[in-house]
Amino acid sequence: MQTEKEMANDIIRRSGVNPLKCMKCGKCSGTCPAYEDMDYHPHQFVSMVQKGRINELLQSKSIWTCLSCFACIERCPRSVEPAKIIEAVRLELIRRQGCNHLKSDAIPELLDDKLPQQAIVSAFRKYSK
């Protein structure tokens, strides 16, 4: 069984994000459109991964409410890329569960005219490993 610290290192490696670059300005959370639906917010992901508090994040509903819209990545002044860290935590969970939540075969059924292309891409990113 991995320790939390090891998991954190895996997440850092997998996401390519260096949480030490964060200057704790909170712009990611300031810009996040899904903020209200999150228990842990983008800036907290960065600092908690740095501190190795992974178990809490794995329980978090934020990993599912993150829209993968990448606004935080777009606007972070220090190029920390919080969404990638959230994604890496999510992936950690998906891998443990060992299944894809979204199979490509299922897509046509889900499509409707109003669904933006970006949402499909984001959903793929979010729900498959």
Partner 1 sequence: MHRIGVFVCWCGTNIAATVDVKAVAEAARKEPGVVFATDYQYMCSEAGQALIRQAIKDNALTGVVICSCSPRMHEATFRKTVQAAGLNPYMLEIANIREQCSWIHKDIKEGTEKAIILARTAIAKVMLNKPLTAGESAVTKRALVIGGGIAGIQSALDIAEAGYEVDIVEKQPTIGGKMTQIDKTFPTLDCAACILTPKMVDAAQNEKIKIFSYSQVEEVKGFVGSFKAKIRKKARFVDENLCTGCGDCTSKCPSKKNKNEFNLGLDNRPAIYIPFAQAVPKVAVIDAEACIKKKTGKCGLCEKVCSAGAIKYDQQDEIIEREYGAIVVATGFNPIKLDKYDEYAYSQSPDVVTSLELERLMNAAGPTQGTLLRPSDGTHPHTIVFIQCVGSRCDDARGKSYCSKICCMYTAKHAMLIREKYPDTDVHVFYIDVRTPGKNFDEFYRRAVEQYGVDYIKGMVGKVIPHDGKLLVQGSDLISNEQVKIDADMVVLAAAIEPDPTARSVATMLTASIDTNDFFTEAHPKLRPVESPTAGVFLSGVCQGPKDIPETVAQASACAAKVIGLLAKDKLLSNPCVARADESLCSGCSVCQNVCPYGAITYEDREFRIPGPKRSEIRRVAQVNEAVCQGCGACTVACPSGAMDLKGFSTKQIMAEVDAICR
Q: Which residues bind partner 1 (CB under 8 A)?
A: 21, 23-32, 35-36, 41, 43-44, 71, 75-79
Provide the minimum distance between the beta carbon of 53 and partner 1 in the complex, in angstroms, as a whole number: 15
- Among residues 43 and 90, whose Cβ is nearest to partner 1? 43
Report the C-alpha gap between 50 and 85 in whole angstroms. Answer: 10
- Cβ closest to partner 1, residue 82 vs residue 87: 82
Q: Which is nearer to partner 1, 79 or 104 (CB)?
A: 79
Taking the complex as a whole, the smallest distance from the CB of residue 48 to partner 1 amounts, in Å, to 13
Quote the least distance from Cβ 8 to partner 1, whole Å.
21
Tally of helices (H runs) and strands (E runs) in the chain: 9, 0
Distances (CA, A) of 4 to 35, 77, 95: 25, 28, 16
User: Quick one: 59 or 97, whose CB is closer to partner 1?
Assistant: 59
| Residue 27 DSSP class | H
Q: How far is the CB of 26 from partner 1 (least distance, A)?
A: 4
